[in-house]
Structure 1
Amino acid sequence: MLLTGVAQAADAATAAQREAFRQAWAAAQQGGEGWRAWDAQLAGYPLYPYLEAAALSHDLRQLDRARVEDYLRRYPDAIPAADLRRDFLLELARRQDWDGFLALYRPGLGDALACHALRARLARGGTLDFDRDLAALWEKPALPDACDDVLAAAHAQGLLTTTRLWARIDTALAAGQGGTVAALAAWLPADQAPAAQHLALALRDPANAVRDAATWPDAPRERQAAALAVQRLARRRPADAAAAWQALQPRLRFDAAEIAAIEYALALYQATDFDERALERLAALPAAAQTPLSRAWRARVALARLDWPAVLAAIAAMPAEQQDDAEWRYFRARAAEALGQSAQARTLYAALAAEPGYFGFLAADRLGTGYALCPLEPPHDPAREQALANDPGLVRAFELYAVGLPRLARREWARALEGADADTLALAAELAFRQGWYDRAIYVFSHGPGLRYYDRRFPLAEEDGLPAQADQAGIEPAFAYAIARAESAWTVDARSGADARGLMQLLPTTAAQVARRHGLDWQGGDSLYDPAVNVALGTRYLAELAGRFGGAPWLTAAAYNAGPDKVQQWLDARGALPPDVFIATIPYAETREYVARVLAFSVIYDWRLHGAPLPMSARLQPPGQAAPAATRRPVSCAAAPAPAELETR
């Protein structure tokens, strides 16, 4: 009882310090010294240095160098010290205080600050040396604006020779950086600049580039630009690209490599549009021009036609390594079954059904057998776990997560575990999991035996209210869990390039509309980082999509990823296909893989929730068609291999 009382008192003290930190942090974000009101409560608290750095960063415009240097001297190795140094260097560059800048600058702080350091040298009367100062930057396909003055000075010094300009143009072309190409074109000799501008146009506006190419001279760089424009146009408008190619061939003497690249692009992107000639174009590509992608699309086009002999021929044309992929082993079995080769089909299905994952589960359903799920427990080493729990960097990481600063927590985690071996990472992930920081375990246990730590990789988090919210929305909890797991890997502050946020990756605009339609509270985009808010809105949106697509989980998942209008377009074109075949013909690789991942995750979450999952086939019914009554599948541990296809991110 005494020990319990001591532990409870310690927990209360920690909770009080965390609450004090949250309040002080909010004050520090406003700058000034107001955050110091919590000094007494935060004595010795491991996150204390973050507060002063936050206040100083807010007040950068008013800071003098002495204040920053004092902080850096007191906390030389702290992550917030590195951030403060970087931020204050940018401020000194804005002030053009080059003496102060050079006093604080350290190499390795990024391209922008490297260029500001060169600006500082130039401002003090120095000159540039290409090999010493510019060679590493010159290899980058794009550079920050801070480098513009440096590059202009290098040009003025005669360092940017024509050979060097074309070398960087080629680097930028390979990276699709049309802006860099256009900027460098201005420094080329007058007789070479138009060709570079045409290359930039091919990247930025391929439709206009193929139109203008009719007037370009028949020169190597012009042919390169025209070929690039046709290839890029093929991605979006393959029919227009094919017409442009027919028009350009007679007047520009493309070399064999350019012709092969164009023919490949036309064949591939006509296939993603399921053009009637796509199968023949792909089959006709020379072996040297084939890639795993083109071979896969030959099979997908054949699947879209339900041409099973053509499916088998397409798979047979793949190299052995690609044929061994679970997807093509499954469809080889499907083709054999469709062609009446039952014994061969069952043999192929049986081998695949021994593997956990989307195609393994599909194969088991074709046979009517159980699923191969063989869980393991992560290793435990109490002594090492205690040592890790006391590591200062991990202490800061866990505290940052506990006070709601997961981005900063991940940085402390990464620094504390830099260079750590697999066993140490596993123990650290286990510590994080116990504290509710689930994404650490998901990312660490993403290969080898860790893939079988199912309870760590597929957490049944209850603090977000997901099961109850899914029930209220009329969505199967296992399916909602699978969506959240596939969307964010349980990273509560996940944010995509498209601005989708939180566990279920909702766009603020979508979330606002869902909140309005369902009478739910809406406090703006940042509220989506609150798991409870995110899950409440995400499950309602999932229910709306399910309603639109007749309750079919496979279509609902596709719509959640690609948007409902795009899914309807695919349904209008190929909606009569069996669901497993339809999924294989989804044009977007991201969506195709996402749907397979969500369906597999649904089985695993169903197993975790109920001990035995419903069959995958129950989630693959046509829209509007109720799944027949299904018996939950048994789960077998016999010789189940590691589920590599269930890795995420």
Structure 2
Amino acid sequence: MLICLGFGHAAADPASLEGERKAFAEAWESARKGQHDAFRQAMPGLRRYLLYPYLQYEDFRHRRAQVPVETLSQFLDDHRDWAFTPALETAWLRSLGEQGRWDEVLQYGPKSSDVAVRCHVARARIKRGDTHDLAPVARQLWAAGSSQPDACDPVFAWLRDTGGITDGLAWERVALAMGARERNLARYAARFLDAEQRPWAERWRRQDLGDYRSLNQAVHWEAGERARQIIDFGLRRLARNDPDRAWELFQLLDDSQDWSEDTRGGLLAELALWSAVNRSPATPERLEAVPKAFRQDRLLEWQARYQVFEGDWTGASRTIAELSSTLQDDSRWLYWMARAALETGQVDEGNRQMAELASRATFYGFLAADVLDLPYTICPEPPRVPMEAIDGFRQHAAVQRALELRAVGLSNWARSEWRRAAQGVDDDTLRAAAAVAVEEGWPDAAISALGNSGDTRWYDWRFPLDYIELVRARSAQAGVDPSWVMGLMRSESALAADAISHAGARGLMQVTPHTATQLARRHKLTYQGRSQLLDPAANIMFGTTYMAEMLARFQGHPVLATGAYNAGPRAVDRWIADGYTGDPVVWIDTLPYFETRDYIPRVMAFATIYAWRLGQPVPRVSSRMPPIGLPQADPPGTAEVVCRAES
């Protein structure tokens, strides 16, 4: 066995490899800019280079309509395990359909799951007169909650002309569209309803426009399946924002509806859940009305949160005991069960539970240690991976492609190839993947692999110190704790400098271009555009500046500042506007946003581990969590870190 730090491996001739990489990067950039002549001139000299098929992919992607089908089909077959193949194949099949090459569409397209390609295949069958059993396929394509690609229009016209759009199918699409809040699509689908059914679709659309606050009008509707469906959907939607009005309407309409047991039970559970989320005073009676069969974990968790918020510790203890065994063993609910014991005078039992929980290196484990003034338990285990396993993983073709793609700056493709190599493998292979990632300076890949392998005690690799000097320098300038910055960065991006979220947040600290623009204006920082946010130094500068802003805005309260970094300061303003004062852990665990509810504890736990990793005094988690809306009491100070039974 080997502790995998600093090992090496043989490499190709460095000068030759660097030359190939430079030529590849130039060719790729030419293709990106549309300079196809320069691109094609560069290709022949790179035929022996590992990533040459990526250049072929880029060439075929641009010329897919002109490339002979046999050539492109063979290329795809030869590269089935390459990351670019699915996207290229879909684009090619779409182009065949757009050109009306129906024989080729039927030859190569039937196995595709892409909606546009499926519609091209269906149209090809219509063109060739092969419509046996086509109607079910066309109906499935039509019944969608969003607009389908233009390629589907001829298929839908055929379905309409052959009488395939029945009243039931039209209503199915109305319901799907309303569920997706696509009102215009619902209005379109309603045109295919029988005349006597169209008013139901219009009622639904009008109710949706008014957020279902006028569902009392349903007392005048004819009872039946359509009415029940609209009322059920509307009450569930309304309950999210106004559970009291939703409950009032439910009571008004309940007796007039012939609900099924499942529909009524599910609706009662949903109304009770959102009552708890919104802390309605009537929550207990609504929870009591939910049939036992519908008291599932999601509802029980919110019942326990409501009881904790209200100080009903006996009730909270009973509710937590109803949770599934998996959730009962979760650190969060172990903490609240122990708190309930202490709050109800069961001091010995509560202390015993807290002491047991304090052996876990989690947010709630650290809190339990704070309750008993115990040391923190962090038991590191040196990463050990056999060299043959490391070499074996490194020899995987997709891994070699991933590492080379990363070397030439194509990080998205590199991740795609890496995921292919690490997908569905056993724990030993995941550990080998982590070892390779560490050697290659790819921290987020190592973190992901160890998260899947379950090696939570490999702290050196799970909490790497990449970028620490930048963090220390910028933290000092911004006046924030570097361990807090590292914990937040670890939570935001897993230290992926090139990370880009679906919302457009970028880089190590997931700064949005809008936030960077505002920070640059307020603090006279240099902002040169979104690409700058992928530079670690610039990203950390903006991220730490924003952390300092949030800390100042919320009077030095790290919990509120962390929540604001995740959800925005206005969201935190709303959450503290109800005047709650007191225990910050209660406040965190009853937040309505699940992402922020999990984000704050994660950042606080990671900050604690990073304080230990950095060799600085480890602040107790409680010291970062002053009461909400009350003066700061004397902070609990720092914690000794030891290794006990579990971590």
TM range (shorter): 0.7 to 0.9
The equivalent residue for 1:240 is 245
1:138–1:325 CA distance, 2 compared to 1 (3 A): farther
Q: Does 1:287 align with 2:289?
A: no
Q: 2:590 aligns with which of 574, 585, 590?
A: 585
Q: Does 1:111 align with 2:137?
A: no
The equivalent residue for 2:66 is 64
- Residue aligned with 2:619, SS: coil
Structure 2 counterparts to residues 40-119 of structure 1, below 5 A: 42=46, 44-58=48-62, 63-66=65-68, 69-70=70-71, 73=74, 76-77=78-79, 78-99=82-103, 101-102=105-106, 105=109, 107-119=111-123
d(CA) in 2 for partners of 1:81, 1:448: 28
1:81-103 per-position Cα deviation (integer Å, ceiling 9, x unaligned): 54333223323433444355446
d(CA) in 2 for partners of 1:211, 1:501: 46
Stretch of structure 1 that moved more, 228-237 or 629-638? 629-638
1:83-138 per-position Cα deviation (integer Å, ceiling 9, x unaligned): 33322332343344435544653622522211112122323444252477458757
Percent identity for Structure 1 against Structure 2:
35
Does the 8 Å contact 2:139/2:164 carry over to 1?
A: no
1:233–1:155 CA distance, 2 compared to 1 (3 A): same
The equivalent residue for 2:645 is 639
Does the 8 Å contact 1:202/1:226 carry over to 2?
A: no
d(CA) in 2 for partners of 1:294, 1:385: 45
d(CA) in 1 for partners of 2:231, 2:475: 53
d(CA) in 1 for partners of 2:107, 2:255: 62
Q: Does 1:121 align with 2:128?
A: no
Q: What amino acid maps onto 2:112 in structure 1?
A: G
Q: What amino acid maps onto 2:196 in structure 1?
A: D
| Displacement after TM superposition at 1:597 (Å) | 1.0
1:51–1:518 CA distance, 2 compared to 1 (3 A): farther
1:323–1:40 CA distance, 2 compared to 1 (3 A): closer
Q: Does 1:24 align with 2:30?
A: no
| Displacement after TM superposition at 1:352 (Å) | 0.8
d(CA) in 2 for partners of 1:201, 1:491: 46
**Paired residues, number:** 633
Q: Does 1:443 align with 2:451?
A: no
Does the 8 Å contact 2:437/2:445 carry over to 1?
A: yes
| Displacement after TM superposition at 1:342 (Å) | 2.5
Stretch of structure 1 that moved more, 481-490 or 284-293? 284-293
| Displacement after TM superposition at 1:546 (Å) | 0.9
Does the 8 Å contact 1:111/1:143 carry over to 2?
A: no
1:109–1:447 CA distance, 2 compared to 1 (3 A): closer
Q: What amino acid maps onto 1:25 in structure 2?
A: W
1:426–1:151 CA distance, 2 compared to 1 (3 A): farther
The equivalent residue for 2:494 is 489
1:232–1:41 CA distance, 2 compared to 1 (3 A): same
The equivalent residue for 1:619 is 624
Does the 8 Å contact 1:301/1:585 carry over to 2?
A: yes
The equivalent residue for 2:339 is 334
Q: Does 1:498 align with 2:500?
A: no
Structure 2 counterparts to residues 258-269 of structure 1, below 5 A: 258-269=263-274
Q: 2:157 aligns with which of 152, 168, 174?
A: 152
Does the 8 Å contact 2:430/2:450 carry over to 1?
A: no
The equivalent residue for 1:510 is 515
d(CA) in 1 for partners of 2:401, 2:325: 49
Structure 2 counterparts to residues 361-376 of structure 1, below 5 A: 361-376=366-381
1:461-501 per-position Cα deviation (integer Å, ceiling 9, x unaligned): 12893332223222211111111221223344433343323
d(CA) in 1 for partners of 2:302, 2:83: 47
CA-based RMSD of the aligned residues comes to: 3.4
- Residue aligned with 2:528, SS: coil
| Structure-1-length-normalised TM-score | 0.87
1:612–1:450 CA distance, 2 compared to 1 (3 A): farther
| Displacement after TM superposition at 1:306 (Å) | 3.0
Q: What amino acid maps onto 1:64 in structure 2?
A: Q
Q: What amino acid maps onto 1:634 in structure 2?
A: E
The equivalent residue for 2:477 is 472
Does the 8 Å contact 1:102/1:120 carry over to 2?
A: yes
d(CA) in 2 for partners of 1:119, 1:90: 12
1:269–1:631 CA distance, 2 compared to 1 (3 A): closer
d(CA) in 2 for partners of 1:255, 1:201: 25
Does the 8 Å contact 1:30/1:55 carry over to 2?
A: no
The equivalent residue for 1:647 is none
| Displacement after TM superposition at 1:419 (Å) | 4.3
Q: 2:330 aligns with which of 305, 325, 331?
A: 325
- Residue aligned with 1:191, SS: coil
The equivalent residue for 1:227 is 232
Identify unmatched segments of 5+ residues in structure 2.
1-8
- Residue aligned with 1:583, SS: helix
d(CA) in 1 for partners of 2:468, 2:87: 33
Stretch of structure 1 that moved more, 284-293 or 264-273? 284-293
The equivalent residue for 1:645 is none
| Displacement after TM superposition at 1:379 (Å) | 3.4
Stretch of structure 1 that moved more, 99-108 or 348-357? 99-108
d(CA) in 1 for partners of 2:402, 2:568: 36
Stretch of structure 1 that moved more, 370-379 or 316-325? 316-325
Does the 8 Å contact 2:623/2:637 carry over to 1?
A: no
1:8–1:193 CA distance, 2 compared to 1 (3 A): closer
Does the 8 Å contact 1:234/1:269 carry over to 2?
A: yes
Does the 8 Å contact 1:231/1:261 carry over to 2?
A: no
The equivalent residue for 2:3 is none
| Displacement after TM superposition at 1:269 (Å) | 1.5
Q: What amino acid maps onto 2:31 in structure 1?
A: A
d(CA) in 2 for partners of 1:238, 1:202: 16
| Structure-2-length-normalised TM-score | 0.87
